[in-house]
């Protein structure tokens, strides 16, 4: 149990924003650079195209998303208390990407930090941000999921290069006295067992950058796709069913499953285990691929702005990623 409903205030999402770069790489592009084809990519992953940031870094994706949020909610950046940036592709090891984003938008009264939980990064960030709101100490908390995956993708490796894209998306968390809305529960997990299956080995304290680490190609994503797939299907489905049972939710009580967008087959398996109809699942993997920490908030923004996610909708967010990290969050949407 990581959340108790006896808190006097709930944290709820009161604003959203997103940023995707303009440049599109479709499956046909990959046919020219590696031994692959559109049919294989669509059938095995569900991805048609992804966006790539040509100039700039993760802070630019995060800043774009936050500016969109600030404009659409008419929020004064000076009122932001805390900025959490979930990412595995920070601009630099230090300073944090959150520091750069804060100064880019003029959040002069905020503090903040980066959070590393790979594809579960947004869920970990959302629970962290919600706890700061529930504590009563902070009023406006920003949680951003942003990754420039193209900066660590090996575009000669057909196993991984077709999977990833770049994007950023942000939410604003505030308190509410309305017990019917907001973030109601979370089940989150971490286990280093995943380190051999999905990692970037070079550049950290284990393998500091040298000519040798570059020659050995250690500064790119390594993934044992088959092994990760097996863990992901089980991990995401189990935790999604667990959060439903814990909150007495039947499949008809769930308005939307908002899953991490890594592979359409993992998403389908999770929905099936939950007894959820495909029409209740948010999908944009076809347009953006796997944008790591950005996938879930990107889905929230698009489905909300399209009028599909509505006030009162019960939503389950679910993710699985490197670490391994995985989990689910149950919330009831509070925005009109
Ligand atoms: N085009 C054509 N063939 C490809 C290919 C591509 N882009 N990528 C891999 N292949 C080949 C493999 O080389 C393999 O060939 P082989 O049998 O001759 O060795 C074959 O396709 C099957 O490979 P496999 O790894 O079994 O494919 P898959 O169906 O498992 O799909 C992934 C590969 C990466 C799409 C899938 O494993 C996956 O999505 N994994 C999990 C990703 C994930 O959830 N990550 C978690 C968080 S980011």
* pLDDT tens-digit readout, 138-148: 999 999 999 99
Q: Using CB atoms within 10 Å of the CB of residue 207, give its burial: 0 to 12 exposed, 13 to 18 middle, 19+ buried.
A: middle
User: What single DSSP character describes residue 203?
Assistant: S
With bands split at pLDDT 50, 70 and 90, how would you rate the model's confidence at 7? low
Which of 148, 204, 153, 197 has its CA nearest to residue 322? 197
In 3-state terms, what secondary structure has residue 188? strand
Q: Compute the distance from residue 224 Cα to the ligand 1 centre, in Å.
A: 9
Residues 6+ apart with CB under 8 A from 311: 181, 333, 334, 335, 336
Give the residue, out of 50, 157, 222, 226, with the most ligand 1 atoms within 8 A of its beta carbon, to mutate for a pocket test. Answer: 226
Rounded to the nearest whole angstrom, what is the distance from the C-alpha of residue 147 to the centroid of ligand 1? 22
Rounded mean pLDDT of 197-225?
97
pLDDT digits (tens, 9 = 90+) for 34-83: 999 999 999 999 999 999 999 999 999 999 999 999 999 999 999 999 99
What structural domains and CATH numbers belong to the chain?
4-179 (3.40.47.10), 183-332 (3.40.47.10)
pLDDT score of 288 more than 90: yes
273-312 core/surface letters (b: 16 or more CB in 10 A; e: else): bbebeeebbbbbbebbbbbbbbbbbbbbbbbbeeeebeee
Instruction: Pick the more confident residue, 6 or 295.
Output: 295
How many angstroms is it from 118 CA to the middle of ligand 1?
A: 19
Would you call 290 a catalytic residue per the annotation?
Answer: yes
The predicted pLDDT at position 1 comes to: 43
Half-sphere exposure of 225 (CA within 13 A, CB side): 13
pLDDT of 4 above 70:
no
48 CB within 6 A, ligand 1:
no
Average pLDDT over the chain, rounded to whole?
A: 97
């Amino acid at each position: 149990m990581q959340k108790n409903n006896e808190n006097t205030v709930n944290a709820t999402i009161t604003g959203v924003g997103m940023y995707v770069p303009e440049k599109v790489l479709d499956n046909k592009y990959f046919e020219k650079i590696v031994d692959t084809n559109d049919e294989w990519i669509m059938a095995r992953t569900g991805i048609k195209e992804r966006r790539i940031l040509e100039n700039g870094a993760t802070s630019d994706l995060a800043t774009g998303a936050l500016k969109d949020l600030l404009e659409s909610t008419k929020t004064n950046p000076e009122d932001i208390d805390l900025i959490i940036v979930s990412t595995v592709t920070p601009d630099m090891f230090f300073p944090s990407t959150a520091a750069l984003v804060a100064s880019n938008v003029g959040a002069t009264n905020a503090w903040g930090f980066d959070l590393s939980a790979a594809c579960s990064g947004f869920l970990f960030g959302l629970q962290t941000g919600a706890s700061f709101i529930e504590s009563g100490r902070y009023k406006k908390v920003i949680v951003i999921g942003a990754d420039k995956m193209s900066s660590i993708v090996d575009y000669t490796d057909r196993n991984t290069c077709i999977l990833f894209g770049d994007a950023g998306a942000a939410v604003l968390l505030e308190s509410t006295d309305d017990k019917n809305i907001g973030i109601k529960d979370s089940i989150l997990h971490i286990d280093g067992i995943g380190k051999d299956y999905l990692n970037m080995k070079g550049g950290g304290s284990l393998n500091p950058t040298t000519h040798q680490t570059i020659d050995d190609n250690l500064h790119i994503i390594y993934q044992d796709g088959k092994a990760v797939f097996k863990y992901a299907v089980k991990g995401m489905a189990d935790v999604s069913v667990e959060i439903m049972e814990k909150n007495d939710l039947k499949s008809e009580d769930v308005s939307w499953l908002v899953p991490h967008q890594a592979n359409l087959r993992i998403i389908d398996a999770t929905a099936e285990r939950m007894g959820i109809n495909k029409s209740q699942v948010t999908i944009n993997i076809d347009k953006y691929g796997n944008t790591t920490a950005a996938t879930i908030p990107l889905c929230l923004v698009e489905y909300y702005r399209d009028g599909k996610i509505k006030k009162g909708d019960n939503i389950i967010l679910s993710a699985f990623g490197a670490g391994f990290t995985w989990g689910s969050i149950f919330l009831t949407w509070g925005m009109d």
